[in-house]
A and B are shown apart, each in its own frame.
Chain A
């Protein structure tokens, strides 16, 4: 149980393209989802907390107009990287929390984004 599906797993696109990444909780409802970014051989950096039905909470230094987050239902959150450039290339991972704050998070398998 507590499966999170992330799609697509790999994206290669030209500079200037906008890319949408989907994160779905398949067998549970997630009022809170999280979006992380991970550079090679480094840890996860939290980008934003996505709350169903309200605006996302972004971490300091993350541009909200660059990384648009929508959490329109209890099972789906999307991250759109707008006008992506090579420096946006990274591994993006979403997670969903099943219970209350502080409980374990369930992670998707990540999306590797490569901007040419």
Chain B
């Protein structure tokens, strides 16, 4: 079952601008992961943030986690046309066997 809600569902920005995507979840988690999916392809892991972490960086990506609000955000700075893709958050709950529960995803379009 899916538990994540993401917003916005779709986002269109100009190259060079920042893109922020938000994810909310319902149960307590072990960690939260962000993935990217290019159209018609599989998913690529971007970043993992543990439940005891509040912020993590990787290149142009910045992820925050607020476990009190059960929410996370993904910020892509200085976006490029090649960042155009769908972005999904996925949670690993504290109680399951490591299954990923995916959010609905945000479709990002970066215009050159």
Q: Is the CB of B98 within 8 A of A110?
A: no
Q: Is the CB of B97 within 8 A of A110?
A: no
Q: Enumerate chain A interface residues (CB-CB to B < 8 A).
A: 4, 6, 32, 34, 41-46, 49, 57, 59-60, 91, 93, 95, 97, 100-110, 112
Cα A26 to Cα B15 with chains together (Å): 35
**Does B2 sit at the interface, judged by CB under 8 A?**
yes
Given A93-B42, A101-B98, output 7 extra A-B contacts at Cβ < 8 Å.
A42-B105, A44-B43, A46-B100, A49-B97, A102-B30, A103-B98, A110-B41
Most buried by B among A97, A102, A105: A102
Q: Is the CB of B99 within 8 A of A104?
A: no
Q: Is the CB of B102 within 8 A of A43?
A: yes
Cα A40 to Cα B28 with chains together (Å): 29
Q: Is the CB of A43 within 8 A of B103?
A: yes
Cα A97 to Cα B2 with chains together (Å): 20
The 15 listed contacts between A and B (C-beta, < 8 Å) are A4-B42, A42-B104, A43-B4, A44-B43, A44-B102, A57-B97, A93-B43, A101-B98, A103-B98, A104-B33, A104-B48, A105-B43, A106-B45, A107-B42, A110-B41
Q: Is the CB of B98 within 8 A of A97?
A: yes
Q: Enumerate chain B interface residues (CB-CB to A < 8 A).
A: 1-2, 4, 30-31, 33, 35, 40-45, 48, 88, 92, 97-105, 107
- Distance in angstroms from B24 CB to nearest chain A CB is 14
Q: Is the CB of B98 within 8 A of A102?
A: yes
- Distance in angstroms from A107 CB to nearest chain B CB is 4
Most buried by B among A34, A43, A57, A101: A43
Contacts A4-B42, A93-B42, A109-B41; is A102 near B31 (CB within 8 Å)?
yes
Most buried by A among B35, B41, B42: B42
- Distance in angstroms from B47 CB to nearest chain A CB is 9
